[in-house]
Amino acid sequence: MEKTFTFDSDLTVNRLGYGTMQLTGDGVWGPVADPDNAVKVIETAIDHGVNFIDTADAYGPFYANLYLRDALKNRPDNHVMVATKVGNTRQGPDVWTPVGVPAYLRQQVEMNLFTLGLDHIDLLQLHRVDPNVPLADQIGVLKDMQDEGKIKHIGLSQVSVDQLKEAAAIAPIVSVQNMYNLSNRQDEDVLDYADAHHIAFIPWFPLATGELIKDATLTNIAQKYNASPAQIALAWLLKRSDVILPIPGTKSSDHELQNIQAQDIDLSQADFDALKALAK
């Protein structure tokens, strides 16, 4: 199992990353209760080798970006690849509305640069495709900003293989971020396409929190490895494909350290196959 993924000659990252979505208030709205702790959690991740961090201007909005900016300032000697997203608007807690108007996407990129304190974005992902705007227009404005040096790489989120192909005809696509975990693997075709084309596959909701954690098969296998069910779920993703870059989020430094330890778990093929059978 490869522990790193290479985007280009400058950007090779450890595959187990961190996602900032949980560093906000309820409904991914407003500030987190303890901003200092939010910064500390990110610093903990960086201090223990995490160098791929996923965020979005819609998280808060902007609060997660601001915490990440502070953590990056506190760790100036650690190169971290930052991935952020545009294309979703927020009207309140748990409310998400795609807007892909090119002028608005351009504004979002600029606001991400501003709130993150960066002069360019390593990976800019279209958070959602706006069905009311041609995909060519949405990718086109990101390609324009890539040509301007404000974006290094472009990715997509929650898309089909056909949308991936359509976007790739306009600009190189280096990542796709779709829901994928032990219990929900409806996008196997997207993962297979990503695997075949060396496209980073970034699964959101990677731990499938809820009933899966109580599954007897998962619990028994976790006990064999002296690990938690969450650690085994992450280890399974890492073994599934070398292009998978899980980005589990947490508000706890202790939980973050546990997540990081998952990359050292080497599942046997028999246990991997047993877990594979858990999919709905």
List, in order of start, the domains of the chain with CATH numbers.
Answer: 4-276 (3.20.20.100)
Is-contact 25 32, C-beta < 8 A? yes
E strand map for 46-117: 52-54, 81-86, 88-92, 95-98
Q: Are strands 121-126 and 4-6 parallel, antiparallel or unpaired?
A: unpaired
Closest CA to 124 of 89, 95, 87: 87
The pLDDT value recorded for residue 209 is 61
Residue 269 backbone class (left: φ over 0; alpha: ψ -120 to 50; beta: rest): alpha
- State pLDDT tens for residues 228-272: 999 999 999 999 999 999 999 999 999 999 999 999 999 999 999
Query: Is it the case that residue 211 has pLDDT exceeding 80?
Result: no
- Rounded Cα distance between 75 and 72, Å, is 5
pTM, entire model: 0.96
Is-contact 269 219, C-beta < 8 A? no
- So which residues are the catalytic ones? 59
**10 Å Cβ neighbour count for 205?**
17
